[in-house]
Structure 1
């Protein structure tokens, strides 16, 4: 992949923060990390696995590549420039150039635990340093690979987990004067009147967005914060406390619209609705996220992407404000470490450690607030970003919740698996003729779709509802014309293996045209008729091409499926998650379909990413 020119233009204040003077890193132990096999492909980062950044022309200095999550690339560029002028750099025997590249925390974790070389054709881009969003990822690599590979991570900033609430909604809850706790949000969840209980009936039910705790530090922090709230404790949380909090947390989970693998995707949807729709209130009422992500959102960068030179950010029409739970917040840290990989030379290791030493200095810490990061150095002022104008309170949170013990974290994850909001999902698979085309790894598109659909089944509990349809022309079933019903939507029970076999049989099905819009319309009608408020009601669509045989137009379809996404959004919305296969896929139409229902679309045009995409999709349920 061709390198992208370095971003040395105007600094953009972008994300990931810290609480001055306090360290409260959230880490999963080896025992817990070993149990997260399902998350091995996604880990809450972008699923594309692309590397971004850095002009790698030889400048005569030791090259020190730092693989980092996207929100830190711009900041690390500025820190790299400052490092060149620092005493730490001056003490080196030869000059060094630090070059940040964008690799999501989860992808980097997967690459490192897989062993072997770094998966980039250009060795100049292989990292000396790694700076994920949290030590949760370095802990996983230490458990799954070796502790020596991740060295001795050191946090140089951290950020609290908060609830981002649209400002109008926050004011209805008493913000900024009233203290708002997780128990207050839980009561809104439990109240059938929803927003009516605070005089806003038009807003409908109270809706929360959270990330999957198996793939996201924020998601894990949120479920631990729920247990802290239910116990009334601010420290010394026990496994018994988690068990006692089960019903409290169950009610809280019932408000969840769906579980995402990253907050960025949820924030993108909210941003688009805010800019072009009704303001977003029909989509979500509160988002569990890191304060740094909220700062990015309010500046017009909802997915915390790497800002390019000349790029203009447009703030949302309505900002999110940070609700710091009155019972306390957990924190995410941002570690940096020298990798113990075979490709790291002694010179690179020495230079990398010097850069890490520089990050702890006052000159480096003073750069952090310009990008929305809270410095660890208490003497460094936070600056203009950390103000009500951008939705944050520089004094919050008032209480820091410490990371509980390994057994407690494990108990919380086990409990969430049992109490998370149940799913009702209909998978709709394109089996038209073009699905026979190869995807470059010895499989056809249909092979990839079949294997991906089969892989999702292990994620569902027996009580979750699962159905599978396939569509093409010249077929018919109880579900309708041009549809094959492999399984009606019903509790999965013990039917997992039988359904896998039925999906595999699609290799031998008749394959003709592509009535994509008709199939989606039929699936939407089916799921809308059976949708329940207490479930995540969703449709997953796998298609490789443009619609060729539907009786309904894309505009008519959008009107039809978007009817429940207006003000209030309904109590049981059906969200559509399309997966685009192949370069011929009509990604524009699939994106419109997803956005009309508050869902997300996924790009699987690259065969190497298909498995990653499916892993990301299932982490939304």
Structure 2
């Protein structure tokens, strides 16, 4: 049917409360805890170590998995095993692990190999776990999400005095480092905030797609680079979505206050560090509940603030304010639509598979019709070039032009074969070659009509011959007219041929874009339907840019 237009350390470290080294937010922290007065003593074993307490004859081990940045806080809170009554106590076996790994384990491992208490950085992970049976006990700590950059950049933009909205901030020309969306609650939360800030809908979705695709380009900064540039006070430091705690920790580690948190005016979503009980054997439930209760008790607040977090009531980290890069006052809370965020994550996850695009542009003389500040041809050129700048080097593309009998009796010419954008193309990259060939499109206009159907079939066959199983293989067909080749294949034969030649092992979709009011949207819809693709109409040619983004987002 037609449509109108941080990177934290990645380490899994199982430790007991004996204090083996663990990575916290990318900083190696060696914690050796020694408590006097004989209250707690430590032992290190070859197997998974645990903490023992004198007088605790019956130790019930509870497997606890936490986000790496709260590992030392949880270790401190569970230093004294909670009593289970009599001479029994619950002893924590602690694992610091990225939430994505734990999420994967929940769907793959038996209960004996899973944590009994899980503290990820965000409730988003619990939502993604679906029917895993997780039971929330409360929140360990919180940390609002902010946009971080150097003080020099924030002052130049005037954002410390007049903060932007999320939508304004992430749709500027400033370089942006986006955390890995598969592994980062910060990344998906911030993109959810951008979508919400822009009012939702397709325009907002396309803005998010643009940000994500741009962040996938090889020439954009990493999160680590952005943090370093910010703490060094760089005048060209990128923007980077971080938690407030990460800003504070980075400044303290660098002995700097140059990395500053910008709090968007429409509010901040927060990492809420939920304490989740994982289904376990009935005889282990009391011990797991006792550990969970310690992690949400009143004694947690002061220790969370000392560790750089806000407590679950929003009170500031110790020392927040002037000279730290973060503000003392709690920012306005931005409540995200959980269902919308999960849907957004699903759409963005599909972008992880590269696209392999053969773009086929109509160069019949009707494309010389005025449109906006130029012609339909110049708008097609500009829109496709703009889309190209966003696509990462792992994507592939080629370019054809078509009209009527451009090459003997053939209606199309190949301007660039399909290659990955980073591949060599005769001394230049494929991306550079495509840019040059897109520039040439307005000069290629030819009289004589449009060989739409023959070209469509040839393009699908060429894409199938160049098929890459690691990519989504698509023909993007841009035309402002209808088929005018009476000597060529007709629509009914084209549709039958597309269906009969379809190879389930080498699927090729056609995304048709009807440019202007004279394009044959009906034919494009039928072609798209025969290939599992989609058809779009850009009645106003200036809408072509958003239509292209929508096509990329939907992958047909």
- Which ranges of structure 1 fall in alignment gaps of 5 or more residues? 16-51, 120-125, 190-205, 232-240, 301-314, 428-462, 470-476, 504-621
1:533-572 residue pairs with structure 2 within 5 A?
none
Provide, for residues 537-580 of structure 1, a one-character-per-residue CA deviation record: whole Å limited to 9, x for no partner. xxxxxxxxxxxxxxxxxxxxxxxxxxxxxxxxxxxxxxxxxxxx
Aligned residue in 2 for 1:329 = 268
CA distance in 2, matches of 1:337, 1:80: 16
Provide, for residues 273-313 of structure 1, a one-character-per-residue CA deviation record: whole Å limited to 9, x for no partner. 678xx86555x52101222222222222xxxxxxxxxxxxx
CA distance in 2, matches of 1:73, 1:409: 27
Matched-pair contact (CA < 8 Å) for 1:225–1:330:
yes
Matched-pair contact (CA < 8 Å) for 1:424–1:464:
no
Aligned residue in 1 for 2:60 = 62
CA distance in 2, matches of 1:468, 1:151: 47
Change (3 A) 1:7 1:377: farther
Aligned residue in 2 for 1:80 = 78
Aligned match of 2:145 in 155, 161, 175?
Answer: 161
Aligned residue in 2 for 1:229 = 197
1:237-248 residue pairs with structure 2 within 5 A?
241-246=200-205, 248=207
Aligned residue in 2 for 1:368 = 304
Aligned residue in 2 for 1:544 = none
CA distance in 1, matches of 2:426, 2:311: 58
CA distance in 1, matches of 2:425, 2:339: 50
Aligned match of 1:131 in 100, 109, 119?
Answer: 119
**Relative CO higher for 1 or 2, CA cutoff 8 Å, sep ≥ 6?**
1
1:319 matched to 2:258: yes
CA distance in 2, matches of 1:496, 1:279: 51
Aligned match of 1:291 in 215, 233, 244?
Answer: 244
Change (3 A) 1:497 1:111: farther
- Which ranges of structure 2 fall in alignment gaps of 5 or more residues? 1-11, 27-45, 352-386, 397-416, 436-458, 472-556
Matched-pair contact (CA < 8 Å) for 2:24–2:68:
no
CA distance in 1, matches of 2:270, 2:344: 19
For normalisation by structure 1, the TM-score amounts to 0.48
CA-CA distance at 1:162 after TM superposition: 1.0
Aligned match of 2:164 in 146, 162, 180?
Answer: 180
Aligned residue in 2 for 1:507 = none
CA distance in 1, matches of 2:51, 2:331: 44
Question: Per the alignment, in what secondary structure is the counterpart of residue 276 of structure 2?
Answer: strand
The CA RMSD measured in Å over matched residues stands at 4.8
CA distance in 2, matches of 1:208, 1:489: 26
Matched-pair contact (CA < 8 Å) for 1:166–1:321:
yes
Aligned residue in 2 for 1:147 = 132
CA distance in 1, matches of 2:140, 2:204: 33
Aligned match of 1:396 in 327, 330, 338?
Answer: 330
For normalisation by structure 2, the TM-score amounts to 0.53
Provide, for residues 115-144 of structure 1, a one-character-per-residue CA deviation record: whole Å limited to 9, x for no partner. 33666xxxxxx6321111122222223x2x
Change (3 A) 1:279 1:271: same
Change (3 A) 1:132 1:396: same
Provide, for residues 150-201 of structure 1, a one-character-per-residue CA deviation record: whole Å limited to 9, x for no partner. 3445333222221011122112122433333334425632xxxxxxxxxxxx
Matched-pair contact (CA < 8 Å) for 2:190–2:241:
yes
Matched-pair contact (CA < 8 Å) for 2:149–2:226:
no
Change (3 A) 1:246 1:67: closer
Question: Per the alignment, in what secondary structure is the counterpart of residue 325 of structure 1?
Answer: coil
Aligned residues: 356
CA-CA distance at 1:110 after TM superposition: 0.8
CA distance in 1, matches of 2:97, 2:66: 6
Matched-pair contact (CA < 8 Å) for 2:420–2:430:
no
Aligned residue in 2 for 1:105 = 99
Aligned residue in 2 for 1:29 = none
Question: Per the alignment, in what secondary structure is the counterpart of residue 97 of structure 1?
Answer: strand
Question: Per the alignment, in what secondary structure is the counterpart of residue 188 of structure 1?
Answer: coil
1:372-383 residue pairs with structure 2 within 5 A?
372-377=308-313, 382-383=316-317
Deviates further, 494-503 or 214-223:
494-503
1:209 matched to 2:177: yes
Aligned match of 1:358 in 286, 294, 298?
Answer: 294
Change (3 A) 1:502 1:287: closer
CA distance in 1, matches of 2:139, 2:418: 40
Aligned residue in 2 for 1:423 = 392
1:268 matched to 2:224: yes
CA distance in 2, matches of 1:210, 1:147: 29
Return the index of the structure with the highest Cα Rg.
Answer: 2
Provide, for residues 476-526 of structure 1, a one-character-per-residue CA deviation record: whole Å limited to 9, x for no partner. x9869xxxx9999979998588454799xxxxxxxxxxxxxxxxxxxxxxx
